[in-house]
Amino acid sequence: MHWNLPNTLTWLRIAAIPLIVLLFFMHYQWTDPAAGLLFAAAGVTDSLDGYFARRLGQTSRLGAFLDPVADKLIVATALVLLISRDTRVVIVLTAVVIIGREITISALREWMAEIGARRKVAVSQLGKVKTVLQIVGLSMMLYRVPIDGLPVYAAGVTMTEIAAAATLVSMVAYLRAAWPELKR
């Protein structure tokens, strides 16, 4: 069942990526908020696709593959876009930490699956919290425009930095769980 509801939500998240890029580079008053809101909506589909897959019994190998790919694509795209406007060291390092962790853990999970130990590096609660922090923080950074004087972008930077710290902590936890296999 390739076109079930969960997979459709994942495909919509992937389809949102070029729209976010387009909005990011358009220079109208409404485009930054629209890019942030579209990114946030895509982030909501990340929770919904998994929920509906389990609830409706519509899990699939395609969905299990596409979901993390969509997550990594949209987050990496947002980080690269944001660096194109804000090249401060803290922003660049935050992006490097998040993207580097995603590559590392994806490779670790692939390797652990090959040796039959995938469950040792399954998604943890900290990983889920990290994802929520990333989605909210990056949405705020893309939104960019202050709301009633509140510094949305700065708050998004802080939240994304916290997400990067959680990213490192979760990476260490996954590596520790895999360490016995890695030592062999």
Residue whose entry in the numeric block shows the structure tokens 């459709």: 8
Query: What mean pLDDT is predicted for residues 158-170?
Result: 95
| Whether residue 1 has pLDDT greater than 60 | no
CATH of the domain at 50: 1.20.120.1760
Asked if residues 9 and 45 have their Cβ atoms less than 8 Å apart, the reply is yes
Query: What mean pLDDT is predicted for residues 136-157?
Result: 97
Domain count, the chain: 1
Choice between 67 and 140, residue whose per-residue pLDDT is larger? 140
pLDDT tens per residue across span 43-82: 999 889 888 888 998 888 888 889 999 999 999 999 999 9
Q: Which two tokens stand for residue 22?
A: 């387009």
Distance CA 138, CA 55 (A): 28
| Burial class of residue 140, CB neighbours in 10 A (0-12, 13-18, 19+) | buried
What is the reported pLDDT for 125?
A: 85
| Whether residue 2 has pLDDT greater than 80 | no
The pLDDT-based confidence of 10 (bands split at 50, 70, 90) is very high
What is the reported pLDDT for 41?
A: 97
Choice between 163 and 1, residue whose per-residue pLDDT is larger? 163
What is the reported pLDDT for 136?
A: 97
| Whether residue 129 has pLDDT greater than 70 | yes
DSSP, collapsed to helix, strand or coil, labels residue 86 as coil
Give me the phi and psi of 131, to 5 degrees please.
-65, -45
The pLDDT-based confidence of 120 (bands split at 50, 70, 90) is confident
Q: Which domain holds residue 98?
A: 5-183
Give me the phi and psi of 150, to 5 degrees please.
-80, 130
